[in-house]
Amino acid sequence: MPEAHEPVPAHPVPELSDDEKHLAKLGYSQDLNRSWSGFSNFAISFSIISILAGCFTNFGAGFNNGGPISISWSWPILGVFILIIGFTMSELVSAYPTSGGIYWWASKLGGPAAGFFTGWLNLIGLVAVTAGVSYGCATFIDLTISTWSESYAADYSLTRVFLIFVVVLALASVLNIFSSHLMAIMNNVSVWWHVAGASVIVLILILVPDQHQSFSYVFTERFNNSGYGDGSTSTLMFWFAIVPFGFLLTQYTITGFDACAHLSEETNAASMGAAKGIWRSIFYSVIGGYILLLCVVFAIPDAADGSPDNVGVGGGGVAYIFVNSLGTNWATFVLFISASAQFFCATSCMTSASRMTFAFSRDGAIPGSAIFQKLTSSRVPANAVVFVGVCAAIVTLPALIEVNIGTPEEPLIIPVAFYAVTSIAVIGLYLAFAIPIFLRWRMGDAFEEGAWTNGKKYKWMNPIAVLEILIVSLYLMLPSLPGGNPFSEADFSWKFVNYAPIVTLGTLLLLTIWWQTSAKHWFKGPKHTIDEAVVKAFDN
């Protein structure tokens, strides 16, 4: 008798790697090029966090809202909370390593509506962080050249900085379109540039200045340059309103680590590599950033009367410290290191934002999705890159408006638009993080864990993470200048307005209307791009 044979399945399961099998179980085929190592995955988040970007570009936000204590104490305290947020997200990316990342998690755990709003918050935050980092990079390129050339400095204008900003966005876009593998190499280089660059700057700040501030100044000095409370530092308002305005420094610097999730479909052994990439990028950035910031504060120069020059630093930021404590040549060198690091950071932000745009478009959630999910022959979402670049330029247009709270003779230019854009980045990204973190906590032990897990610690980690995000987001929506508060006795002007809540809350309102009238009828969450029979085979 002929031998019995097993029936041939109608849909034979192809030979896939472990990463491809995991991705197939989640419903996706391996469309992107999986050429990133675990180190490269860590590197992109470390590059986007970029202590040489956020620590310097938002230094004034911390310094003017509380003084040195707002840096020496707020940074490590907030750093611990952000690390907890990172641990909760590491567990999620280990279970669901997809390019959609945050929004995919929310869809899986909470349904289409949760995924829809999470995705849009995440996309808003990623576009804003790309804009903020690129504009900060443009500012530091301008500062570097201005410090080196007096004639160039004399012709300063906001238009000039904005044009440099557009060039930075264009270059970051071209590099991203060229090759995904090139981006992996750039991020590896970026890590060592940040490590070596920060180390060099720390040594320069320790060895070159003729004098340093005291430990008492760095860890106890406080002042209020916010314009609120008549400069008082002894009221409850100072501790519970003014100092929290300075949280922007830490919260903005240590963000963008969700890039590990967005690049997980291009990472080998993603269930472990992406999970470790998130918390490690946060941990090393908290430590390195704190050392760097302390060295900057210690290097603050004295004024003519021998006291720390708080007024000069409040108006001039880190560039003022570098020039007056290090001299022109050293200051130019330090600014060059920082500007270069910020360009690496801007390029990485573009990579992360474009991957999120691709993934969200793949599931039909963005108008024009058919365009933004297209890949080039080298499997790069070029249209998504261009989309992010254009949106980043548009959201930063208010930076062309000068905001001077000083006098024509002694101008004090406040980068209100930059602070607003960075606040949008923090609010959008962290609120997007909060939704799946809360949903995972609500699911409890029914959550299907990946290779990396927090165990039972999720029961207290996740609520703390969500609470921290909500509190900080609320503060960053408040008007940071009295002139931007329509209920203040000060003269209200739109140029002083923190437009972060207008953009974030306004967009959420429009999305709510869109969801109720249309999107809820057709958006069903992540779509499978692989044969359903293959998905079922791996589920079994």
User: 96-141, pLDDT tens digit by residue?
Assistant: 887 667 888 899 899 999 999 999 998 999 999 999 999 999 999 9
Instruction: Work out the pLDDT band at 229, boundaries 50, 70, 90.
Output: confident
Q: Pick the closest to residue 65 from 320, 269, 244 (CA basis).
A: 244
Domain locations along the chain: 39-478
Give the separation between CA 297 and CA 140, rounded to whole angstroms.
Answer: 19
Closest CA to 34 of 196, 282, 301, 269: 269
Predicted pLDDT of residue 410:
62
Three-state DSSP class for 17? coil
3-state secondary structure string across 315-371: HHHHHHHHHHHHCHHHHHHHHHHHHHHHHHHHHHHHHHHHHHHHHHHHCCCCCCHHH
Burial 132-154, CB ≥16 within 10 A → b, else e: bbbbbbbbbbbbbbbbbeeeeee
Q: Quick one: average pLDDT of 205-223? A: 95
219 has pLDDT over 80: yes
Predicted confidence at residue 358, as pLDDT, reads: 87
pLDDT recorded at residue 8: 47
Mean pLDDT of 322-334: 95
Cα distance between residue 396 and residue 165, in whole Å: 9
Report pLDDT for 386.
94
Confidence of residue 2 (pLDDT cuts 50, 70, 90): very low
Q: Are 453 and 518 in contact (CB under 8 A)?
A: no
Query: So what's the pLDDT on residue 4?
Result: 47
Stretch 510-537: mean pLDDT:
77
Mean pLDDT of 502-514: 93
Could you give the CA distance from residue 439 to residue 230 in angstroms, rounded to a whole number?
A: 43
Quote the pLDDT of residue 428. Answer: 93
The pLDDT, as a whole number, for residue 482 is 83
Strand partners, 376: none
Q: Which residue has the higher pLDDT, 341 or 98?
A: 341
Q: Give the highest mean pLDDT range of 179-193, 222-236, 505-519.
A: 505-519
Question: Which residues 6+ apart lie within 8 Å of 207 measured at CB?
Answer: none
For residue 40, pLDDT over 90 is answered with no
Computed over every residue of the chain, the mean pLDDT equals 86
Give mean pLDDT, residues 179-194: 77
User: Any idea which of 181-190, 271-280, 331-340, 465-474 has the lowest mean pLDDT?
Assistant: 181-190
pLDDT at 532 over 70: no
422-454: pLDDT as tens digits: 999 999 999 999 999 999 999 999 998 888 999
Identify the pLDDT of residue 390: 96
How many CB atoms are located within 10 Å of the residue 35 CB?
16
Helices within 50-111 (DSSP H only): 51-57, 59-63, 69-72, 74-95, 102-110
Look at residue 226 in the predicted model and tell me its pLDDT: 82
pLDDT at 524 over 90: no
pLDDT in tens, 410-420: 666 778 888 89
Structure tokens at 306: 């021998």
**Mean pLDDT value across residues 142-169:** 93
Q: What is the pLDDT of residue 36?
A: 63
What's the confidence (pLDDT) of residue 388?
Answer: 95
Q: Using an 8 Å Cβ cutoff, are 527 and 363 in contact?
A: yes
Mean pLDDT on 304-322: 90
- What is the fold of 39-478? Amino acid/polyamine transporter I (1.20.1740)
